[in-house]
Chain A
Amino acid sequence: MHIKQELTERHVLTLTVDNEAGTLARIAGMFTSRGYNIDSLTVADISEDHTTSRITIVTKGPPPVIDQIIAQCERLIPVHKVTDLTEAGPHVERELALVKVHGTGDQRVEAMRLADIYRARVIDATVNSFIFEITGGPEKIDTFVRLMREVGLVEVGRTGIVGLMRGADAS
């Protein structure tokens, strides 16, 4: 007997949650305990009185599982609202990455040239290294990181995705 695999879809969910101890553990733990995937998760306080946070989760699963994930999130007491940005329609996704490269001579010139094309900013430099700051959709960052591998990538830090619906309404 072999374990069966199912076809999955990628979805970006945003959750409005009470900003209190344990909320993040509750959500992240629910994903693990029910066997759901988390590709990335970001969280930050978004209200003036610090009572509410927004969590953005990128997850993968077959459509019925995505439905279950949303319902299970909604079932958690500190979760007020869940929006499936992928379902909801046009939305923007952004991520920030810091990318450190090491190199001299042509390699260094090439790194700068590529950074320029990708609108990455230099935020630290030594004679043989750079740190670039880049924002964009996940694919753009993936591509940029792949290119940097060829010109001396040392390490990468990524924030994970935040997303909002396009247009005037709140998600």
Chain B
Amino acid sequence: MPEKSGAEILIDTLVEQGVDTVFGYPGGAVLPIYDALFQQKKIKHILVRHEAGAAHSAEGYARATGKPGVVLVTSGPGATNAVTGIADAFMDSIPLIVLTGQVATNLIGSDAFQEADTVGITRHCSKHNYLVKDPAELATVVREAFAIATKGRPGPVVIDIPKNVQVATASTDVKRPPRSRFTYASEADYAEINRAIELIANAKAPILYTGGGIINSGPAASEALRELAELTGAPVTSTLMGLGAYPASGEAWLGMLGMHGTYEANMAMNQCDVMVCLGARFDDRVTGRLDAFSPKSVKIHVDIDRSSMNKTVRVDLPIVADVGMAMRQMIDVWKGRKYKKQPLDEWWSRIAGWRAVDCLSYPGSAQEIMPQYAIERLFEATKDKAPIITTEVGQHQMWAAQHFHFDAPNKWLTSGGLGTMGYGLPAAIGAQMGHPDALVIDIAGEASIQMNIQEMATATQYRLPVKVFILNNEWMGMVRQWQELTYESRYSESYSDSLPDFVALAEAYGWKGIRCDDPAKLDDAIAEMLAHDGPVMFDCRVHKTSNCFPMIPSGAAHTDMILNADQVSGTMDDEAKALV
């Protein structure tokens, strides 16, 4: 019987699973795998500069392509460095396969060099994990891992592979079929779909509250959403993670909801009579104060993960199903019953009233670049190029969500659940690997970008023309904003001191650097960035003390939105202070 080493079996199985790109970083405990990689041509390895970069790059790749991202890191520090990305993927339901080296099985538990309990550390921030102790098990485990990572609610799966298991050989013939160890929802029960359709058809003030589940379900789900919105005439809002599923240029679009969502979206959520939650999870950023959340509505919740049902908000009709399929079923039932679009005139006229508040307006300036203006101009300059936008975390992320508009899924890559600064640049690199010809831009903050700045070298090495557009306000703006709201502007450690010269830094890495601080020159500077056929770091010096509004402060109701800076009181009670 032919035998192969664990490392070779691993590579073969990855190829069999359709993997062509791996983001990784070598080290002692994965040398056998790196040697096997060296001797083949089917998988391209992208050498990152820090394992966090590998995990976030794989996330960006997965989010932009819909395929699982693959990470390869060494034991101990390699694995622990990747943990943030694993936790991030777990929160945002991103399919990842994370291959970690481990010390040889006979050394496990002995505090061996570069030993860490990787399965222990990642147990509760991965969808599943494995420690493989026999090369004969590897192929089966890898196949199972791909199924687990991609099916049902997607997520990261960690496979910890001791070094001796990579070296030892096993027969390639024995194929224990992967166990069918998990069931996942697909189609919804028609009785439930019928009830949902009756509720929607009889609603006077319905709303479609959509989320990242629609993106995860695939492009067909976004198509279905558009059709469902058209058929029912209901307005559509989305979470941060779901942007692009429904086109921002669509008539029914209310904008994003939640803490920094639009006034019209949040008011409509509060006042609706039937809420259809599609692939979203009633996150605290979305609901605000729970006991004041959408008090009058009947709530329908479609989610693939049963544990999302009734987790924070009690719903009236939980439907455990793939959201794309469930919407398709709803469309079929709606058409089958020959329902007509409801004349929701009164509802839409109330919405028009809220829209008239023009909640995203901001004070203009001829001297300084307002951060919102920078995003608007970037959007105008790139909207015909169908760009992929990644972000870091902070005010710039929220301004991007508010002022950049997405008409298609898989174009908006941001760290929602975990809120990981340092996500954007590596995610952009991953997205660019998946879409070599796309325009990929990381909208960054000057503080966040420094968290994975070393990945600039990765972009240089693989000639990835990513653009990093830094809204440089010289502050950890989001932290400063909360300090203004809650702590009477005691700015404890939120100033971005000792910033690097980003233009010089860009040049040092072989990138192009551009700086702009004049609103009159902004368009030209953006054009220069877009014209450059290579990576660009754009240091956009923006108004330093702008805050991001509208805002529902932590623990407040949707109806208690702060629309502009004049409404900020400067302090909060302890209950509110205790909320994140």
| Partner-B contacts on A (CB < 8 A) | 1, 18, 21-22, 25-26, 29-30, 33, 64, 67-68, 71-72, 74-78, 80
Contact = CB atoms under 8 A, between A and B. Distances in A.
B468 interface: no
B182 A25 contact: no
Nearest to B574: A1
Contact of A71 (B127, B129, B181, B306): B306
Contacts of B131: 21-22
Given A1-B578, A78-B181, A33 B314 contact: no
B181 A74 contact: no
Contacts of B574: 1
Contacts of A74: 306-307
Contact of A1 (B119, B128, B309, B575): B575
Given A1-B574, A68-B307, A77 B123 contact: no
A68 B311 contact: yes
Contacts of B123: 22, 25-26, 29
Contacts, number: 41
Contacts of B128: 76-77
Name the residue among B119, B123, B131, B310 with the largest chain A CB count within 10 angstroms. Answer: B123
B213 to A, nearest CB: 15
B148 to A, nearest CB: 6
B532 interface: no
Given A1-B575, A67-B310, A77 B124 contact: no
Name the residue among A26, A67, A74, A75 with the largest chain B CB count within 10 angstroms. Answer: A75
Contact of A29 (B124, B305, B306, B575): B124
B142 to A, nearest CB: 15
A22 B307 CA distance: 22
Given A1-B578, A18-B181, A64-B310, A75 B305 contact: yes
B306 A77 contact: no
Nearest to B305: A75
Given A72-B307, A75-B306, A64 B124 contact: no
26 contacts: A1-B573, A1-B574, A1-B575, A18-B181, A21-B131, A22-B123, A22-B131, A25-B123, A26-B123, A29-B123, A30-B124, A67-B310, A68-B307, A68-B310, A68-B311, A71-B306, A71-B307, A71-B311, A72-B307, A75-B305, A76-B128, A77-B128, A77-B148, A77-B181, A78-B181, A80-B181
Nearest to B578: A1
A74 B182 CA distance: 9
* Pairs A-B, 3 closest by C-beta atoms: A71-B307, A1-B574, A77-B128
B363 interface: no
Contacts of A21: 131
Contacts of B127: 77
A26 B305 CA distance: 18
A71 B314 contact: no
Nearest to B128: A77
Name the residue among B181, B182, B307, B578 with the largest chain A CB count within 10 angstroms. Answer: B307
A67 B315 CA distance: 13
A1 B129 CA distance: 40
Interface string B551-580: 000000000000000000000011100100
A75 B128 CA distance: 10
Contact of A64 (B182, B314, B575): B314
Given A1-B575, A68-B307, A74-B307, A22 B119 contact: yes
B120 interface: yes
A61 B250 CA distance: 45
Contacts of A77: 127-128, 148, 181-182
A29 B309 CA distance: 22
Contacts of A68: 307, 310-311
Given A74-B306, A75-B307, A77-B128, A25 B120 contact: yes
